[in-house]
Chains A and B, each alone.
Chain A
Amino acid sequence: EVQLLESGGGLVQPGGSLRLSCAASGFTFSSYSMSWVRQAPGKGLEWVSAISGRDGSTYYADSVKGRFTISRDNSKNTLYLQMNSLRAEDTAVYYCAKLVEAWGQGTLVTVSS
C-alpha cells in the first residue's frame, strides 16, 4: 500500500523559509515522478511542482517559480519542497502526491506576521 507522510509545516513570517518533507513507502520511490499540490483555505487544488523519478527533472507553477525548490532523496524515499520568500498567498495545506494514485494527509503552512 502506498503511504505518503508530509511534515515540516507551520507558522512562518512573510519573507521567511520553510522546508517540507514527504516520506514515501509501499512502492519503488525512485521509479516515479512525485508532485506537491496545495490548497488555500476554502479554495480548490493547485498543482505546485513535480520532479521526475528517472532524471530528476523539475517543474514549477508560475506562482512559485524562483522561490520554491523541489528535490528528492531516493536513498531515503523522501521528497522535499524548499520554500523561500514566502508570501501570505502561499498559506495553504500542502499535499505530497504520487501522480494520479495517492496523496498524503497534508501539512499546513501559514504565512503571517
Chain B
Amino acid sequence: DIQMTQSPSSLSASVGDRVTITCRASQGISNSLAWFQQKPGKAPKSLIYAASSLQSGVPSKFSGSGSGTDFTLTISSLQPEDFATYYCQQYNSYPFTFGGGTKVEIK
C-alpha cells in the first residue's frame, strides 16, 4: 500500500499569511494526487485534482504542485474562511490512501 505523509500535522498562521502544506508518497504516484478541505462537522470539499488542477469554483488563492512523490498545497493569502483541516489523497493505485491531515489554526 502507498503511504501518504503530510506535514506539518498542524500550523498556526495569521490572516494574510502564505501557507504551504506538503504531502509525500511512499512511492511514485505520477500526478494522481488530490487535496481536500474539511471544516468541523462538515463533509470534505474537493480543492485540487491531478496535483495542480483547480476544481471548478475553487478560488485561485489555492494552488497545488508536484509530481512523483512530493507534493505541495499553497494558500497564497490566508483568509478567515480558510481555517480548516486539509487532506491529501493518492488515487494512483488501490487502496487509495489519505494523508493524516493538516489543521490550519488562527495565530
**A residues near B, CB below 8 A?**
35, 37, 44-47, 50, 59-62, 95, 99-106
Interface pair A101/B101, CB less than 8 Å apart: no
Contacts of A104 in B (CB 8 A): 43
CB–CB A62/B34 < 8 A: no
Binds A, one of B20-28, B71-79, B91-99: B91-99
B contact residues, range: 20 to 34
Q: Are A103 and B98 in contact (CB under 8 A)?
A: no
Asked if B63 CB lies within 8 Å of chain A CBs, one says: no
* Distance of B3 from chain A, by nearest CB (Å): 13
Minimum Cβ distance to chain B for residue A40 (Å): 13
Q: Which B residue sits closest to A44, measured CB to CB? A: B101
Give per-residue flags for B26-46: 1 if the beta carbon is below 8 A from chain A beta carbons, else 0: 000000001010100001111
